[in-house]
């Protein structure tokens, strides 16, 4: 087999879950933007982080677009897979997150990204929910926190949508996201409590449980501007889930590296940003320490994830056919 053929072969198995990297990098970027705002500092890193994250998205989109053109049957196989299906909305979520990251730097670019991301995510949500309703092959062991991904994207829409001037559309997406968060949270805990444990390669997706209430809190604050009862319920739900998962650290540290490790990044970024927002509205330094501390830890985690992913790609441990 020639080198060119080997290269093409690897593109055929390029996984849709790679876009979780963009979510993690975007979360880190937005986190540092927020930290600089509350600390009243300008470290000059925001344009660089936005540039790196945008470049990563373009590279991944190009590679997956190549897969779609050359190996359409492999893309169709992924979108029909009971688990991988839920990672397709990471593309639209990446656009929405980039819209947030660009908001303070280039508002017009932010608007274009937001409109594209919101429309694409609505299409993905309608498709995914339709598949859930009319499925013929789902089993309870297929359920894992990655199923939250379509819902998480919906609650992200108001974060850039409100400042861009689309409050009613933002309320629509927020409502959809909260609706499916409540439904899926119930099913997830039923699956975890009464059925076989989640397989090791998907264990990191448990961190996705943090994202809906954390992002929901940020979005709700954008929509209302008030730290009311519901806002506190959302924030402290995210706080409890973060504490719960941190107590399981020993289990996560024993896991072999999988691309699913990127599931650690975005939820922790969301909780970090939510904590900094709590600091802004309460003035309590406790939340400031939590937010900046989580962001510092997240920065180390992302560097580790980038290193581990690079090594896995170099050793050809990624982009392999399923066994």
State pLDDT tens for residues 138-184.
788 788 888 889 887 899 999 999 999 999 999 999 999 999 999 99
pLDDT at site 269: 96
Q: Which of 36-50, 76-90, 131-145, 201-215 has the lowest mean pLDDT?
A: 131-145
Average pLDDT, the chain: 90
The more confident residue out of 56 and 196 is 56
Nearest to 192 by CA among 236, 152, 145: 145
Give the three-class secondary structure for 38: helix
Tell me what pLDDT residue 59 has.
95
> For a pLDDT cut of 70, what percent of the chain falls above it?
96
Kindly report, residue by residue over 95-146, the tens digit of the pLDDT.
999 999 999 899 999 999 999 999 999 999 999 999 888 877 778 878 888 8
Q: Is residue 137 part of a domain?
A: yes
Distance CA 143, CA 135 (A): 13
Q: Is residue 234 part of a domain?
A: yes
Instruction: Please state, in angstroms and rounded to a whole number, the distance separating the CA atoms of residues 114 and 171.
Output: 15
Measured CA to CA, the distance from residue 86 to residue 129 in angstroms comes to: 10
* Domains of the chain: total: 1
Query: pLDDT tens-digit profile of 215-270?
Result: 999 999 999 999 999 999 999 999 999 999 999 888 888 888 888 889 899 999 99
Give the confidence band of 4 by pLDDT, cuts at 50, 70, 90. Answer: very low
Residue 89: CB atoms within 10 A of its CB come to 26
Q: What per-residue confidence (pLDDT) applies to 1?
A: 41
The range of the structural domain enclosing residue 67 comes to 3-314
Average pLDDT (317-321) is 74
CATH code assigned at 216: 1.50.10.150
Query: Could you tell me if residue 322 is inside a domain?
Result: no
pLDDT at residue 323 in the model: 52
Nearest-10 crossing angle of helices 229-246, 211-224: 160
- Does 323 fall in a domain? no
Domain assignment of residue 320, yes or no: no
Quick one: pLDDT at residue 181?
94
Split at pLDDT 50, 70, 90, the class of 7 is very low
Is 319 among the domain residues? no
Q: Quote the DSSP letter at residue 61.
A: H
Helix or strand (DSSP H, E) at 246 = helix 229-246
Contact assessment for residue 20 and residue 28, using Cβ atoms and an 8 Å cutoff: no
pLDDT (0 to 100) of residue 249:
86
- Tell me if 259 is assigned to some domain: yes
Considering 66-70, 114-118, 199-203, 309-313, the range whose residues carry the highest mean pLDDT is 114-118
Instruction: Kindly state the percentage of the chain with pLDDT values over 90.
Output: 64
Cα distances (angstroms) measured from residue 158 to each of 85, 115, 168, 267: 24, 12, 9, 17
Report how far residue 114's alpha carbon sits from residue 116's, in angstroms, rounded to the nearest whole number: 5
> Is residue 220 assigned to a domain?
yes
User: Best-predicted range by mean pLDDT among 82-86, 197-201, 202-206, 239-243?
Assistant: 239-243
């Amino acid at each position: 087999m020639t080198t060119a053929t080997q290269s093409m072969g690897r593109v055929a198995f390029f996984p849709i879950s790679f876009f979780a990297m963009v979510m993690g990098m975007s979360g880190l970027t937005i986190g540092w933007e927020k930290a600089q705002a509350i600390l009243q500092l300008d470290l000059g890193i925001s344009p660089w982080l936005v540039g790196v994250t945008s470049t990563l998205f373009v590279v991944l989109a190009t590679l997956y677009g190549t897969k779609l053109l050359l190996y359409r049957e492999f893309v169709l196989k992924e979108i029909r897979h009971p688990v991988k299906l839920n990672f397709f909305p990471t593309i639209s979520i990446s656009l929405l997150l980039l819209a947030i990251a660009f908001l303070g730097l280039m508002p017009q670019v932010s608007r274009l990204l937001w409109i594209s991301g919101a429309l694409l995510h609505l299409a993905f949500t309608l498709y995914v929910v339709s598949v859930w309703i009319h499925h013929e092959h789902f089993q309870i062991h297929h359920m894992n926190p990655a199923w939250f991904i379509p819902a998480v994207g919906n609650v992200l829409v108001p974060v850039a949508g409100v400042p861009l001037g689309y409050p009613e559309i933002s309320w629509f997406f927020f409502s959809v996201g909260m609706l499916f968060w409540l439904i899926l949270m119930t099913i997830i805990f039923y699956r975890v409590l009464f059925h076989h444990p989640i397989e090791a390669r998907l264990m990191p997706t448990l961190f996705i449980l943090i994202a809906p209430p954390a992002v929901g809190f940020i979005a709700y604050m954008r929509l209302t501007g008030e730290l009311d009862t519901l806002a506190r319920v959302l924030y402290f739900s995210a706080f409890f889930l973060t504490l719960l998962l941190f107590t399981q650290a020993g289990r996560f540290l024993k896991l072999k590296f999988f691309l699913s490790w990127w599931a650690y990044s975005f939820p922790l970024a969301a909780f970090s940003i939510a904590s900094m927002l709590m600091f802004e509205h309460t003035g309590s330094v406790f939340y400031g320490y939590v937010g900046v501390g989580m962001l510092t830890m997240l920065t180390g985690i992302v560097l580790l994830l980038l290193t581990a992913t690079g090594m896995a790609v170099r050793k050809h441990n990624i982009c392999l056919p399923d066994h």
